Structure 1
Amino acid sequence: MRRVIIPKTGPGTPGPLLLTRSPRGRMLLMARQPDGTIGCWDVASGEELWRVTDDSISFSLTVVRLPQGRTLLASGGEDGVCRWDALTGEPLPGNLCPDRTIWSVASGTVHDGRSILVGAGHDHLVYRWDAMTGEPLGTPLSGHGFCVKSVEVITLPDGSTMIASGGEDAAVRRWEAISGAPFGAPLNGHEGQVLSLASVTLADGRILLASADSDGVIRRWDAITGEPIGRPIHTGAWAFQFAVIIAAEGPCLLAAGGDRLIRRIDLLTGALIGDPIPGVGVAAARALDGSTMIATSAYCGDITVQPLH
């Protein structure tokens, strides 16, 4: 695909962004714009497909894939969680957790085929919902001493589902998605707030969980055993947005940092790959032709989508 530039709307910096493939294989970019809207663009043409008002003032976006083939976009922000049809922008009724701040959202599927949404609450709780109906899945999960800043949903080899959460208490906690029971002990080692989480399945079957804190340290863990993988990665700048890709050299992490640079990190070795890319936001997805597309947003600038070389 060619390089496409999405002009920002209004003064300021674009907010969270993501790339995804539609059920028919079309690459879509979704992003919060400085004018308080969320838009969706066709990456191949740069055409804007829809735009909605962001009532939640979102900090995080996630795509939800429903069993029937429908795709949703969900946002977490200052007024809970909002949901839209990802292809049309049609809203689903009702904010989830209205009047509560949700710092991060993530989605996944549980063993009975249902799609779930998970939210990181400012009130130190982890929330779970049925992604389609918006109904809560049990009581919120309590364990973090302070507000929860990041969440990730992980499908395990036995078909069960894990939730990982990171908080201001510097801990990464793991939970069984359905029962809400703790999954092992907390993962300790960070000293700052755990702001970002991402996971990837390795070639040997292990699931790697990456976590980044407000001190600019990225740690890697075996998601199931909780054992650390390699040494901490010191970037010097806190990372507030992650994207994971499977490149020719193996799994890589794209980390957008507070110094307005995006670092590409080999998740197996912890080594930096190439020079940092200027930008304050990052997203990535695999195109139908097997290439990896990357979206980056510039500080007070536009969003660029292009193949990652």
Structure 2
Amino acid sequence: MVRSDDGGPIRLHFPHPTRLRRATFSPEGRRVRAALLALILTTIPVAAQELRGHGGPVRAVAVSADGAFALTGSFDQSAILWNLATGAADKVLRFHQGAVNAAVTVNGLGFATGGEDGRIALWRGDAAEPVRVIEGHKGPVAALAVSPDANAIASASWDETVRVVSLNDGAVRVLEGHKGPVNGVAFAPGGGIVSVGYDATLRIWPLGDGPAKVVTLPAPLNGVVVAPDGEIAVTAADGRLRLFAPDGEARGEIEIGPTPLIALALSADGATIATGGLRGQVALIDRRSRTIRATLVGPGLPVWSLAFLPDGKQLLSGGADRLVRRWNAVTGEHIGSVVPRAGEDVLAAFQGERGAQVFRACAACHTLTPADGNRAGPTLHGIFGRRIATAPGYAYSDAFKRLDIVWTKETVAKLFEIGPNAYTPGTKMPEQTIGAAEDRQALVDWLEKVTR
């Protein structure tokens, strides 16, 4: 059910709702869904400071150079172009086969999106189709960056590579070395590349040929930005923001919270860093003083994406609640009539249980109860005894559907012993393993208890 801004329901009636749900991710189903989404977007009264329309968590946000428009990408496989002055959706863009994981502004062109399908789409103005498609990755694209001169685009992928493509002549440079999904990429002021990944490394690639400088950190890394003066900031799964000189020398760290940081943005002037995590709170950090200037309190759900408006005075956040919220980046106050409340840590009740501690790395993508539904991954409620790729309402890849696995304590443990890519080829999960047998056992014993 869709609700209007005053809380009243808007009921939309369509024939054969069960058939429609089953067809949502078929080619025809995507066309039907696009039509329904467009209808919903034109039916709901406009709330200029809160952008509603996505049918899944908002994974990516980018703002145009003039601050007039935003492009958002979602796990619902769509991108939406928003008019920020009115809060209205100008266009629903459907191209990627899978989640839209990344979005970035390309000056002089428009926007670029990167998807689970490994492709990058370039969009100009109000075009309903991409003006250019860049292919080459063999895994999902997790992050995008555009060079300062707007002549090249870099992409980070779960295929363990970074690809740098010239927008002038199409020349491609492939950067290899990460041993796991690459989650973040950025251009350095001098033209070099910086990347971070699940292998807990920060890699600084020179402008020309040559090996990267590798900085190994204590936890997997989820995002990276580079300031105009070359300083590097990275976010990690241990809830810490770390800062480095352009050559990789450590310059300190800031503890944001106990849960993984999964969203990161930098204001255009480099003065303010914003980072968000699993519990829905966003920290605004003064980069020069290394202090948390304000904390934006959201609804307690994961914040997947952040983007500053060009003047650095406002910030957009996208998260698991399917909304894009607008914030005053100076005061930390939410803009608009909605007053979000911080949610509870669902794992707080299991303090001291080893299985719950191991599960924290999974909480960004999986819920435990039917009421919380699916996120980037399906809910784990009722997982034991369930055949693979059968959780209701989740869009599985075709490769995943062909696997012959029933989830038991043994098969779940095996998944994390040898890794998703080896055990479940075609999976959307990032590559990850749990090395200690006792930790795997603690996880499955705990899951058996809490997912019934």
Q: TM-score, normalised by structure 1?
A: 0.72
Tell me the residue number matched to 2:214. Answer: 140
Q: Which deviations, in whole Å up to 9, do the C-alpha atoms of 1:17-66 show, x marking residues without a partner?
A: 22221xxxx3322112454422112124445322122334211111113x
- Displacement of 1:216 in angstroms is 1.3
Indicate if the aligned counterparts of 1:162 and 1:177 stay in contact, CA closer than 8 A: yes
Say whether residues 1:151 and 2:224 are aligned partners: yes
Quote the residue 1:293 is aligned against: none
Q: Answer yes or no: is 1:256 the counterpart of 2:318.
A: yes
**Alignment CA distance shift 1:271-1:134 (3 Å):** farther
Say yes or no: does 1:118 pair with 2:118: no
Question: How big is the shift at 1:6?
Answer: 2.5
Report the CA distance between 1:108 and its aligned residue: 2.9
Would the alpha carbon gap of residues 231 and 83 (structure 1) be closer, same or farther in structure 2, given more than 3 Å must change? closer
Q: Secondary structure at the match of 1:187?
A: strand
Partner AA of 2:332 in structure 1: G
Cα deviation, residue 75, structure 1: 0.9
Structure 1 unpaired stretches of 5+: 281-298, 301-309
Letter in 1 for 2:230: T
User: How far apart are the structure 2 equivalents of 1:107 and 1:275?
Assistant: 37
Q: Which has the higher strand share?
A: 1
Amino acid in the other structure paired with 1:6 = L
Report if the CA contact (8 A) 2:155-2:163 is conserved: yes
- SS of alignment partner, residue 131 of structure 2: strand
Q: Give me the whole-angstrom Cα distance separating, in 2, the residues matched to 1:86 and 1:94.
A: 15
Say whether the 8 Å CA contact 1:62–1:105 is kept in structure 2: yes
What is the deviation of 1:232?
4.8
Q: Provide the residue aligned with 2:237 in structure 1.
A: 168
2:151 is matched with: 71
1:228 to 270, 285, 292: 292
The answer to which structure, 1 or 2, has the higher relative contact order (CA under 8 A, 6+ apart) is 1
Partners in 1 of 2:150 and 2:105 — Cα distance?
Answer: 16
Letter in 2 for 1:229: R
Q: Deviations over 1:197-217 (max 9, x none)?
A: 212267xxx811111112211
Aligned to 1:218: 282
Count of aligned pairs between the two proteins: 252
Q: 1:173 to 1:5 in 2, by over 3 A?
A: same
Three-state SS of the structure 1 residue aligned to 2:238 is: coil
SS in 1 for 2:176: coil
Residue in structure 2 matching 1:84, options 160, 165, 172: 165
The residue identity in structure 2 corresponding to 1:268 is V
Where 1:169 maps in the other structure, the secondary structure is coil
Whether the 8 Å contact between 1:107 and 1:118 is mirrored in structure 2 is yes
Give the Cα–Cα distance (whole angstroms) in 2 for the partners of residues 134 and 255 of structure 1: 37
Aligned residues: CA RMSD: 2.8
Q: Which amino acid aligns with 1:236?
A: G
User: Which of 186, 204, 208 is equivalent to 1:128?
Assistant: 204
Q: Deviations over 1:102-151 (max 9, x none)?
A: 11112230xxxx21221112111111113x435345x3123x32101111
How far apart in 2 are the matches of 1:43 and 1:251? 25
Indicate conservation of the 8 Å contact 1:8/1:34, yes or no.
no
CA contact (8 A) 1:218 1:235 kept: no
Q: Please tell me whether the aligned partners of residues 178 and 199 of structure 2 are also in contact (alpha carbons under 8 angstroms).
A: no
Larger Rg: 2
- Which residue does the alignment assign to 2:142? 59
What is the alpha-carbon distance in structure 2 between the residues aligned to residue 43 and residue 211 of structure 1?
Answer: 29
Check conservation: 1:151, 1:196, Cα contact below 8 A. no
1:190 aligned onto 2:257: yes
Does structure 1 residue 7 correspond to structure 2 residue 89?
no
Which residue in the other structure is 1:307 paired with?
A: none
Partner of 2:358: none
Q: Identity of paired residues, percent?
A: 19
Q: Partner residue of 1:101?
A: 181
What is the alpha-carbon distance in structure 2 between the residues aligned to residue 208 and residue 93 of structure 1? 31
| 3-state secondary structure, aligned to 2:172 | coil
Would the alpha carbon gap of residues 241 and 231 (structure 1) be closer, same or farther in structure 2, given more than 3 Å must change?
closer
Are 2:102 and 1:16 aligned?
A: yes
Deviations 1:258-300 (A, max 9, x none): 2221111111111112368xxx9xxxxxxxxxxxxxxxxxx99
CA pair 264-229 structure 1, distance change in 2 beyond 3 A: same
How far did 1:168 drift?
0.8
Q: Does the CA contact (< 8 Å) of 2:194 and 2:203 recur in 1?
A: yes
User: Does structure 2 retain, via aligned residues, the 8 Å contact 1:117–1:128?
Assistant: yes
Q: Which amino acid aligns with 1:224?
A: R
- Whole-angstrom CA distance in 1 between matches of 2:134 and 2:120: 5
Secondary structure, aligned partner of 1:115: coil
Which one-letter code corresponds to 2:264 in the other structure?
L
The residue type equivalent to 2:166 in the other structure is D
Q: Is the 8 A contact 2:106 2:150 kept in 1?
A: no
